[in-house]
Amino acid sequence: MRAIPSGFSPLRRHALVALFALAAAGCAHLPGRDPLEVQVAGIEPLQGEGLEMRLAVKLRVQNPNDSVVDYDGAALELELNGRRFATGVSSERGSVPRFGETVLTVPVSVSAFNAIRQALGMADSARLDDIPYVVRGKLSGGVFGTTRFSDEGTLSLPGY
């Protein structure tokens, strides 16, 4: 009995074998690797353009594994009070050392509409000392190396 139907041309058979080999290699890389820990380390203002506001979100990335994790780009979304607030991408390249950490900065944009919506929502709640946030994103590391992350907590505005 043949594993690949005989109706397939030799080129298709070789393509299928290559596809299965790639899938097996990718799956073999995954077991035994602990997920990266990613936390928001800080948020700083950047120079905006037009009606948008720009922020630099600093992410502390910790690698609990015994091998270096290389990354080539990042993307993230910042949510405040359960509403999408800002998004951003970075083409920064780097690596997180084995059992080590690094700080990655991702610039994000806040549209004028999102800023107004958040301001109105905060004025209604009258609670400015514990604003819930969620950060979701990914660190790109190649075809099988993309790592997704999420962090949540609360922010306090200065003076409250």
pTM equals: 0.69
Q: Which domains does the chain have, with CATH numbers?
A: 1-31 (no CATH), 34-155 (2.60.40.10)
Residue the block writes with tokens 């009606």: 51
Q: Which two tokens stand for residue 78?
A: 């910042």
Q: Pick from 68, 85, 71, 60: which is nearest to 151 by CA?
A: 60
Query: Closest by alpha carbon to 137, among 100, 97, 107, 95?
Result: 107
Distance of CA 23 to CAs 14, 20, 43, 123, 141, Å? 14, 5, 39, 51, 16
Q: Per-residue pLDDT tens for 33-88?
A: 788 888 889 889 999 888 888 999 999 999 999 989 889 999 999 998 888 889 99
User: Residue 144: which pLDDT band, with cuts at 50, 70 and 90?
Assistant: low
pLDDT digits (tens, 9 = 90+) for 103-140: 999 999 998 777 777 777 666 655 566 788 899 999 99
**Confidence at residue 88, expressed as pLDDT on a 0 to 100 scale:** 96
Does the structure show a pLDDT above 80 at 89? yes
- The H-assigned helical ranges of the chain are 10-29, 112-125
